[in-house]
Structure 1
Amino acid sequence: MSSLSSLKCEACQAGAPKVTEEELPKLLAEIPEWNIEVRDGIMQLERVYSFKNFKQALAFTNSVGEIAEEVFHHPSILTEWGKVTVTWWTHKIKGLHKNDFIMAAKTDELLV
């Protein structure tokens, strides 16, 4: 269990600080299954989860949706047969905020 998962997301406004290059290695070490992807110049956290069938993938997708709604911070979710791709980033700052790492850790905990 990552210590990040015990933290709470803070309200994030436009202009909030992005995670720095110095902070990235420490934060990524807490969520080792996640990868950094850059799309349209925006750094994002992404992980692909595998499941035995579509029903399990859909149930996981719904669980991710529930934790996202609790904090009003929503990922991109692609649900397919046997897999779910979850991508976190903060739209307001067009990049990664600590909230994204917190939510990635909370997403991982849904598998426990």
Structure 2
Amino acid sequence: MSELAQVHCEACRADAPKVTEAEMAELMNMISDWNIETRDGILQLEKVYTFKNYRNALAFTNRVGEVAEAEGHHPALLTEWGKVTVTWWSHKLKGLHRNDFIMAARTDEVLSV
């Protein structure tokens, strides 16, 4: 399990600080194959996972959902035949918080289980 995946999310308030550019660069080095996307001016972490079929993609989606629910931090999940797109961002902040990187690392851990 990665170091980042072992950390728990902290309660996030609307006035919590977003990650700085330096923090973002450091945290991006801790998660592989994630991209930073900007939608409507909001930075988001996104990764596409591929699977052999819809059943496996759906099972992964459900496992990610369980991890998200346990932490109280929820991604956008797009489940399609053979792939799942996972997008993390902090809705209250309208951007990225350390929690998003923690959950990205946890998402990668779900895949390895």
2:87 equivalent in structure 1 = 87
Q: SS of the counterpart of 2:60?
A: helix
* TM-score calculated relative to the size of structure 2: 0.97
Partners of 1:80 and 1:36 in 2: how far apart?
A: 21
- After superposition, the C-alpha distances for 1:48-105 in whole angstroms (9 at most, x for unaligned) are 0000000000000000100010011100000000000000000000000000000000
1:71 paired with 2:71, answer: yes
Structure 1 ranges of 4+ moved more than 4 A: none
Gapped runs of 5+ residues in structure 2? none
Q: SS of the counterpart of 2:45?
A: strand
Identity of matched residues, %: 68
* TM-score calculated relative to the size of structure 1: 0.98
2:24 equivalent in structure 1 = 24
2:15 equivalent in structure 1 = 15
Q: Size of the alignment, in residue pairs?
A: 112
Q: How well do the aligned residues superpose, as a CA RMSD in angstroms?
A: 0.6
Code of the residue aligned with 1:4 in structure 2: it is L
Q: SS of the counterpart of 2:27?
A: helix
Q: SS of the counterpart of 1:111?
A: helix
1:39 paired with 2:39, answer: yes
Shift of 1:2: 2.5
